Amino acid sequence: MAFGAQLAAAMDRHGPLCVGIDPHAGLLAAWGLPDTADGLRAFSDAVLDAAAGGCAAVKPNAAFYERHGSAGVAVLEHVLGRSRELGLLTVLDAKRGDIGSTMQGYAESYLVPGAPLEADSVTVSPYLGFGSLKPALDLAAEHGKGVFVLALTSNPEGASVQHAIAPDGRAVAAVVADEAAAINSGAEPMGDIGLVVGATVGDAVHRLGIDLDRVNGPLLSPGVGAQGAGPAELSLVFGNAKARVLVNQSRGVLSAGPDVERLRTAVLDASAAAASILR
């Protein structure tokens, strides 16, 4: 089963929540864990234990593992492998973007079955041109994996690039959305190429002429709940595409740790809340 179909089934079964796994130094300290590879592993295992069966996917952030060098990357391998064992779909938040053989190398790292860092999907940046993503898109199609392309991010600096007008008169973010829509066209229940769209981008989707419903792929959305976006904001941003929104929650869930039962409750509460505001 291809990634889009797997994710749609997981969202139907468990709700639209994606739990971010972000073991930054401050959160490790708040959990009483050392800022070491051992601390990373204890943190990650607790989140996975709490998330299994309670959400659609988990999103480990590669940066917080890579900062610990090879020992941290080994923990990330463990997280991705254990997620598969637990039946949790993974969105590896790596935001890779390059050209040619370098992009091919990144794609082979994450999207080939049996690779040490194999994930179900990965985040990528299209700002060397959407065509630069071809190695990742090709491998995703070959192996039934997913790719989430940065489109409209919630950081204020993003607008200077994403809202810019391309030579053909479309906004850059609209070009990204149109390219994803072309790949996903006709896929049921949805395609494998998703977009990252912040829930706090306001009317940018409409101002820039983007039809998220036509994208026909999953829409990974930070900014819901603790970061300020509620039902009104989600309706404004996503409109008829709300059924394909995968809500990312990190702080709102992880602050309940380190106790696994409290984390589990936070996961279930966040999943119910996300489903409620997306109705």
> In this structure, is residue 174 part of a structural domain?
no
Q: Is residue 10 part of a domain?
A: yes
Residue 61 phi, psi (nearest 5):
-95, 115
Catalytic residue among 95, 134, 145, 242: 95
Residue 256 belongs to a domain: yes
Domains contained in the chain, number = 1
Answer yes or no: are the C-beta atoms of 107 and 139 closer than 8 Å. Answer: yes
- Burial status of residue 261 (CB atoms within 10 A of its CB: 0-12, 13-18, 19 or more): exposed
Domain span holding position 116: 3-153+183-196+216-222+244-274
| pLDDT tier, 116 (very low <50, low <70, confident <90, very high otherwise) | very high
Question: Has residue 176 been placed in a domain?
Answer: no
Residue 147 three-state SS: strand
95 as an active site residue: the answer is yes
Give the integer Cα–Cα distance in Å for 176 and 14.
29
- pLDDT, tens digit, for every residue of 156-167? 999 999 999 999
Residue 193: phi, psi to the nearest 5? -100, 110
**CA nearest to 234, candidates 189, 181, 279:** 279
Q: Where are the beta strands (DSSP E) in 140-214?
A: 146-152, 193-197
30 three-state secondary structure:
helix
**Does any domain span residue 203?**
no
The answer to whether residue 110 is domain-embedded is: yes
208 in any annotated domain: no
pLDDT digits (tens, 9 = 90+) for 220-239: 998 876 666 778 888 889 99
Does any domain span residue 239? no
**Which CATH number fits the domain that encloses residue 188?**
3.20.20.70
Model confidence at 66, pLDDT cuts 50, 70, 90, reads very high
